[in-house]
Amino acid sequence: MASSPKDNLLDYDRAELAAFFAARGEASFRASQLMKWVYGLGVTEFSAMTNLSKSLRAGLAADATISLPEVAADTLSEDGSRKWLFRLADGNCIETVFIPEAERGTLCVSSQVGCMLNCSFCSTASQGFNRNLTTGEIIAQVWMAANLLGQHADASRLVSNVVMMGMGEPLLNYDNVVRAMRIMLDDYGFGLSKRRITLSTAGVIPAIRQLREDCDVSLAVSLHAPDDTLRNELVPLNRKYPIRALLDSCREYVGEGRRRVTFEYVLLAGVNDSDQHARELVKCLQGVPAKVNLIPFNPFPATRYRRSEQTRIDAFFAILNRAGIVTITRRTRGDDIDAAWGQLAGEFQDRTRRSSRTRTTIHVQGHVQ
Ligand code: SAH
């Protein structure tokens, strides 16, 4: 008879691990002991977990696993950003990007293999949607980065920030993403604070409302247009959740406190980058506690869009800035390794084509289909 698959302990948050141990007749503090080994010290061999009894260690080795992906590629950009392609147990690959800065190190984490949203300027869209990542596959990206950067060895906080901004729409994989973020926040997990985790969404309104109740990390919204006609074209999800309602949910999300929502705006030459668009954006964000993140478009093969000229970006920035909106222009980084934000490509197995319009040009590792 085939043995049942082992429990992947990375799939559980602390409460679920406590239940797992309780079911084995063990005290619930075993959960924090195990998490400290795994997330704090980077130890995944049960036999090395010396504060667990020998019989418990043997039992875990028999029934449980700590499943990590393989490193399919590890690329360092000239500017210091590092991109990993991780191969999952089923052969699918996902990307995780680390961006070191003077005061922090930000890890950009994927939530799905592919994406179903079909945003017209995003290279992930051309790959279709394959599947949701499990909790274990999401948290393993943080574990792998910490390990490959040497964080486990010297207990430094190299990964100080996490952005759920890689492949996929995190709010369409809600349960697994929230559970993984709980592990990132847990003192026995990665001990990050809520303001150091940012979830980026194209605007799934009901899930934004739910997130406020469940795990109110920093919120970023991919806006990219100041009016519904243009946004329908760039972010098709807007047809279901239009701008006004989306901004209402953003206002609710931050409430009366001092928090702001970050609005991401990819500047596409001649599409959404005129002075008029900037003025409309100012109007659109009136009354919303907002920061704006202007992102120079990163071209990819077969895209119909171009990056705005720097003078255009500066002019757009100046209009928002004069209107008193806190605005930053994201530097493009990692261009030489194709690791720019939202440019996350992978090789999928069993690719599901969303529509006949879908292009299937994959451009990772020089692999073209
Ligand atoms: N689905 C989520 C998270 C993934 S996309 C969301 O929509 O927010 C995250 C970000 O990637 C987008 O906001 C956008 O800023 C960026 N992005 C996507 N394609 C890009 C491209 N070609 N160039 C620059 N940024 C891009």
State the pTM of this model.
0.90
For ligand 1, whether the C-beta of 247 sits within 6 Å is no
Query: What pLDDT, on a 0 to 100 scale, did the predictor assign at position 342?
Result: 42
Which atom of ligand 1 lies at the shortest distance from residue 221's CA? 8
| Mean per-residue pLDDT over the chain, rounded | 89
In tens, the pLDDT along 248-298 reads 999 999 998 889 999 999 999 999 999 999 999 999 999 999 999 999 999
For ligand 1, whether the C-beta of 113 sits within 6 Å is no
Which atom of ligand 1 lies at the shortest distance from residue 115's CA? 1
Nearest C-alpha to atom 9 of ligand 1 is from which residue?
165
- Residue 3's pLDDT band, with cuts at 50, 70 and 90, is low
Q: Report, as an integer, the average pLDDT of 4-8.
A: 87
Identify the weakest region by mean pLDDT among 95-109, 287-301, 329-343, 346-360: 346-360
Nearest C-alpha to atom 14 of ligand 1 is from which residue?
342
Checking if the pLDDT of 367 tops 50, the result is: no
Cα of 234 to ligand 1 centre, how many Å? 11
Checking if the pLDDT of 214 tops 50, the result is: yes
Cα of 213 to ligand 1 centre, how many Å? 25
Query: What pLDDT, on a 0 to 100 scale, did the predictor assign at position 336?
Result: 52
Query: What pLDDT, on a 0 to 100 scale, did the predictor assign at position 1?
Result: 52
- Residue 2's pLDDT band, with cuts at 50, 70 and 90, is low
Query: What pLDDT, on a 0 to 100 scale, did the predictor assign at position 330?
Result: 78
Checking if the pLDDT of 46 tops 90, the result is: yes
Query: What pLDDT, on a 0 to 100 scale, did the predictor assign at position 79?
Result: 82
CB 38 within 8 A of CB 9: yes
Which atom of ligand 1 lies at the shortest distance from residue 220's CA? 8
For ligand 1, whether the C-beta of 295 sits within 6 Å is yes
In tens, the pLDDT along 103-161 reads 999 999 999 999 999 999 999 998 899 999 999 999 999 999 999 998 887 767 799 99
Testing ligand 1's pocket by substitution, the residue of 96, 198, 238, 341 carrying the most ligand atoms inside 8 A of its CB is 341
Query: What pLDDT, on a 0 to 100 scale, did the predictor assign at position 315?
Result: 97
For ligand 1, whether the C-beta of 343 sits within 6 Å is yes
Cα of 125 to ligand 1 centre, how many Å? 10
Query: What pLDDT, on a 0 to 100 scale, did the predictor assign at position 78?
Result: 83
